[in-house]
Amino acid sequence: GAGVSQTPSNKVTEKGKYVELRCDPISGHTALYWYRQSLGQGPEFLIYFQGTGAADDSGLPNDRFFAVRPEGSVSTLKIQRTERGDSAVYLCASSGQGSSYNSPLHFGNGTRLTVT
Amino acid sequence: QKEVEQNSGPLSVPEGAIASLNCTYSDRVSQSFFWYRQYSGKSPELIMSIYSNGDKEDGRFTAQLNKASQYVSLLIRDSQPSDSATYLCAVILGAGGTSYGKLTFGQGTILTVHP
């Protein structure tokens, strides 16, 4: 079976532009997470979906960032008025139902966003 | 103090040696701890999880947890060049952290195993 798929793998955009990053989780996984990883750092939590709803969006840095998961499968992370500080690798992960004991996170290969 | 902190790297060990990676965390009631391996340009890959005090062994990997000291470590025995990667410690902070996988990561330790 396929793993977590993220598109595009690379995105270069100009400061001030709008971008959308897509995540296609493992089929049947109800939980979906977005993380952001800057160079030389560990991933930083952004938002968690359980089904269609955002159960925890406490990691979104400001209101320029928004994410949706309208049908409980594919998710899109949207960034408005991009800034150079938004440059990072955006990672998506999914897991099945249940606790962390039996539902480890499976990460996608990420989207590398560069804001020029 | 960072919520999850790893020993500064990079760490370089010869092939066949034991590599020791360390991590401390700030929230003493945390219950769930993980080690991820990340090759350059790739996504993090779960290699160990540990929830109880003591040692947990899986092949050449041993995770050690000491909740009283708020310390978790990863030992890699008989290190191979293919083990060269960044190792990330991750914690689900707080006592209720088994309901979902909101991980807080350390900054990672770069390990190089030289032949």
pLDDT tens digits for range B86-97: 999 999 887 665
Give the per-residue pLDDT at A103.
72
- Over the stretch B28-80, which tens digit does the pLDDT of each residue have? 888 889 999 999 989 999 999 999 999 999 999 999 999 999 999 999 999 99
pLDDT at B112 over 60: yes
Q: Which amino acid is at A27?
A: S
Cβ-based neighbours of B59, under 8 Å, separated by 6 or more: none
d(CA B102, CA A48): 8
Give the per-residue pLDDT at B94.
77
Closest alpha carbon within chain A to B87: A42
Whether the CB-CB separation of B92 and B31 falls below 8 Å is answered with yes
Q: What's phi and psi for A96, nearest 5 deg?
A: -80, 180
Please, which residues 25-64 of chain B have a Cβ atom closer than 8 Å to chain A?
A: 32, 34, 42-46, 49, 51
Cβ-based neighbours of A31, under 8 Å, separated by 6 or more: A48, A49, A50, A94, A95, A96, A97, A103, B100, B101
Give the per-residue pLDDT at B102.
84
A66: β partners? A78
Give the per-residue pLDDT at B1.
73
- Over the stretch A23-82, which tens digit does the pLDDT of each residue have? 999 998 989 999 999 998 999 999 999 889 888 999 999 999 999 999 999 999 999 999
Provide, as residue numbers in chain A, all residues whose Cβ is less than 8 Å from the Cβ of B43. 4, 91, 107-110
pLDDT at A100 over 70: no
Give the per-residue pLDDT at A20.
98
Q: What is the CA radius of gyration of chain A?
A: 13
Among A18-27, B4-13, B45-54, B96-105, where is mean pLDDT lowest?
Answer: B96-105
